[in-house]
Amino acid sequence: MSQDYSDDIFGTDHQVQVDMQQIEDNFAALKSAFSGTSAPPDPVAGMWWLDTTTHLLKIRNEANSDWQSVWNCASNKPVITNLSGEITGAMISAAIKDAAAGTASLRTLGTAATAACAGNDARLSDTRTPTDGTVTEGKIGAGAVTEGKLGASAVAQAKLKTSTGEVSTITSGNLALPGGEYGFYPQLKRADGSTDTITASIANNYATPIVNVYYTNIFLKAVSETYTAYAQQRYVTSSGEVFWIFFKRDKLTGRIVSSWAAPDHPCMGNGGKPLLVPHPFSNVDLSEFEIIVVNPDASGVAELTGKMAVADESKPDLSLLQIVNEQYEVDEKAGSPDWPSIPVTVGLPVGMDWKRVANDSLVVPVKKIIPRPEYALTRTLRLKGLKEI
């Protein structure tokens, strides 16, 4: 059975009741995608049909010559039987499985049974299979990297990733490097493209310590306020629950003199105690400056990162903080958003000894709810004169 569609319903000699019933039937057919055990008669290009025999949702092709299967309603999967040359799950499964002796497969490439292609590493020729889960020279070839060569203290945590944070200033001062002890060596730049020197030092510029915890600090000094000096640090993390942007703003002039942005709070890797490192700016005179905090959501961060790539090969890509500084402004009219209330990662457990952590062990990072400093102002950003993020 199929659901028919009646054309030419209206006529001067028609009965109203019959015409209205046909209209109702037509709507019922459209509503159900002409579901039925047989194809609807008099099809037109673009018509849908739910074949209840095969459980396939089909569409009439543009030439109005055939039905094309689109979706398998029984398995809730797309129909791929008409693919030609595309990679399917069955092809991948066939390629990676153990092949019979003398038959090529991904596992046997380079063995005596199957000749290797040019460029294959002959050191993969040993096909003995580990039975205890370990990797040794005898099991994968004499020239391969082994557990013994890496050392017993090699890091084997699969969940770690890296993030990047940035700091900037138009004057000079000490700023916390994002990621702290988990960071790589920082990089420097200035945003106007000139070659004047940026003064920078990964040390405290003052005689007294910044805080009473180990703290990865960078001293940045712009030659003049005509440009912004930047530093960025990539660091190892497994967190990023909340994105943080901090501004140090002059209360008298309203000018932002320093900025900081990262997917982790400044105390992460810098002692892990937000009361000791509540913001990334050291030695701030709160009678002269105010601290502004912005926490864009995922869509806001995506909006910022989407502007980073520059199509012109003669010009450098932009960094996220550079985009914030140059294209956005603090929105004073949107009110004060709530302070983040979820726990965020601030570091690894104290005393974590990687030599005694078994491979693939679950290492639970330390998470804390960051208390809001009473002087911190929460704000949003907006494109200069246009919209918020």
245 and 290, same domain (yes or no):
yes
Instruction: Give the C-alpha separation, 262 to 243, whole Å.
Output: 6
pLDDT of residue 191: 72
- Across 153-276, the runs of DSSP E, i.e. the strands, are 161-169, 172-176, 187-190, 199-201, 217-221, 229-237, 244-250, 256-262
Q: Is there a domain that residue 117 lies in?
A: no
190 and 326, same domain (yes or no):
yes
Nearest to 274 by CA among 337, 227, 221, 339: 339
282 and 141, same domain (yes or no):
no
Q: Is there a domain that residue 6 lies in?
A: no
Nearest to 213 by CA among 258, 288, 275, 292: 275
> What contacts 51, CB < 8 A, 6 or more positions away?
35, 36, 37, 39, 57, 58, 67
Q: Is there a domain that residue 22 lies in?
A: yes
Nearest to 381 by CA among 229, 259, 234, 257: 259
Q: Is there a domain that residue 156 lies in?
A: no
Residue where a domain stops, chosen among 130, 151, 172 = 151
**3-state secondary structure at position 138:** helix
Instruction: Give the C-alpha separation, 303 to 324, whole Å.
Output: 11
Q: What's the total number of domains in the chain?
A: 3
* Strand partners for 71: 57, 78
Q: Is there a domain that residue 367 lies in?
A: yes
Residue where a domain stops, chosen among 62, 78, 94 = 78
Residue 319 Cα distances to 1, 165, 316, angstroms: 62, 10, 9
Strands 377-383 and 289-294: parallel
Average confidence (pLDDT) over 60-75: 89
32 and 130, same domain (yes or no):
no
pLDDT of residue 89: 64
pLDDT tens digits, residue range 291-302? 999 999 999 999
How far is the first Cα of the chain from the last one, in angstroms, to the nearest whole number? 54
The residue segments making up the domain with residue 126 are 122-151
Show the CA angle centred on residue 388, arms to residues 387 and 389, nearest 5°: 130
pLDDT of residue 383: 92
130 and 180, same domain (yes or no):
no
20 and 127, same domain (yes or no):
no
Average confidence (pLDDT) over 57-69: 90
Q: How many CB atoms lie within 10 A of CB 78?
A: 11
Structure-token pair, residue 86: 């595309």
Q: How many CB atoms lie within 10 A of CB 220?
A: 25
Amino acid found at 144: A
Q: Is there a domain that residue 94 lies in?
A: no
Between 361 and 54, the higher pLDDT residue:
54
pLDDT band at 224 (very low <50, low <70, confident <90, very high): low
pLDDT tens digits, residue range 319-362? 999 999 999 999 998 899 999 999 999 988 877 665 666 666 67
pLDDT tens digits, residue range 20-29? 777 777 787 7
DSSP code per residue over 176-212: EPTTGGGB---EEEETT---PPPEEESS-SSSS-SSS
Q: Is there a domain that residue 3 lies in?
A: no
322 and 232, same domain (yes or no):
yes
Residue where a domain stops, chosen among 49, 78, 107 = 78
194 and 314, same domain (yes or no):
yes
169 and 146, same domain (yes or no):
no
70 and 184, same domain (yes or no):
no
145 and 189, same domain (yes or no):
no
22 and 171, same domain (yes or no):
no
Q: Is there a domain that residue 2 lies in?
A: no
State phi, psi for 72 to the nearest 5 degrees.
-95, 105
